[in-house]
Amino acid sequence: MDERTRPSSEEWQELPEGVNFSTREIGYYFEGLNRGMHLEIKYEEYTSQLIVNYKGYIVYKEAKGDLLAYFPQEEWEAHIEKLYKEAKKKQIKNKELEFENSLKNNEKEKNNWLQKMRNKWGIT
């Protein structure tokens, strides 16, 4: 049976036609309880809104570059700083890996091209 067709049993025939839907990325969400932080960071792509909750309260809110709410407190800001440092380390590591991969790919392409030329000219 084709997976896109409905079963033909009696129960299925009584159901209305399905509703069309699509998926899209709506943003990013970070929840820090597993790291010992009662911190929640949410970014919504559609509204360009960044919200930081600390212990259930909004401590930072920004929408489309405009600051709407900010409650300075050393405790939650220290958590943000710690996360930033970890993210920066990961970013540097990822860039190094990406650079190494590009070097390997370049070497592979060079070898493939040389082999192709050798085959073309009958040199083995």
Q: pLDDT for 22-32, tens place per residue?
A: 777 899 999 99
pTM of the model as a whole: 0.64
Rg of the chain (C-alpha set)? 26
Instruction: Give the torsion through C-alpha atoms of 75, 81, 86, 89, to 10 deg.
Output: -160
Is 29 inside a domain boundary? yes
Is 15 inside a domain boundary? no
Q: Which domain range does residue 43 map to?
A: 24-121
Is 11 inside a domain boundary? no
Q: pLDDT for 72-102, tens place per residue?
A: 999 999 999 999 999 999 999 999 999 999 9
Over 60: is that where the pLDDT of 13 sits? yes
Over 80: is that where the pLDDT of 45 sits? yes
pLDDT at res. 23? 74
pLDDT at res. 122? 84
Is 3 inside a domain boundary? no
Is 33 inside a domain boundary? yes
Is 6 inside a domain boundary? no
Is 12 inside a domain boundary? no
How many domains is the chain built from? 1
Is 19 inside a domain boundary? no
